[in-house]
Amino acid sequence: MEYLDIGKLIGILISVIGTVAITFFNLSQSKRIRVELLEKLDDSIENGNKHTTCEIFRLLYGVRMNHSDITTLLNDENAIKIIYALRKTPGMVRYSNGEFIYQEIFDNEWVKLAGRLSSKAITYVLSSCLCLLAIASAATKDLSSLALFIIAIGVSVLLTAHLKQGSYNQMIRELVNKKI
């Protein structure tokens, strides 16, 4: 029976090692293919192949754009940030005619003010909850202290995600205000 357990363990270990090796191989292949697509994108821009340029750009970044916008965007120093913003929030911002701008509704001052105020309110509420949970966790004992600590971890994750989104929104505002 002991040999059977060792055999199972060796089989599981071989399976895990094989899975890790295949994963690394696939990651390296995808990077190689991405580099090849980047080279083909450069070639299609140089040759003036509009359709090919648009399709390769869509395959690389998942964003559909006109040929003239693609060539203008790729010559900008903030191209990577703009492409990231277009992929993450396609309904909030757009790139057209060489300008990175908000969609019409997000360009409204009332919408911007409401977004900023709600963001600050959420930050204050989550921070306050985190402080109250920490105090309550320190004041209680046994299992309830552990439960409060676990809830505090969840609230801190939410606060971290919210602050990261705030940083992203600030990057968007800076890019839009730059007027490419």
Q: How confident is the prediction along the chain (180 residues), in pLDDT tens digits per residue?
A: 566 778 888 888 889 898 999 998 888 888 899 899 889 999 999 998 899 999 999 999 988 888 889 998 888 888 899 999 888 888 888 888 888 888 877 778 888 889 889 999 999 999 999 999 988 888 888 888 888 888 999 999 999 999 999 999 888 888 887 754
All residues at 6 or more sequence positions from 93 whose CB lies less than 8 Å from its CB, including other chains: 85, 86, 100, 101, 102, 103, 106, 172, 176
Q: For the purposes of burial, counting CB atoms within 10 Å of the CB of 25, is it exposed (0-12), middle (13-18) or buried (19 or more)?
A: exposed
pTM of the model: 0.70
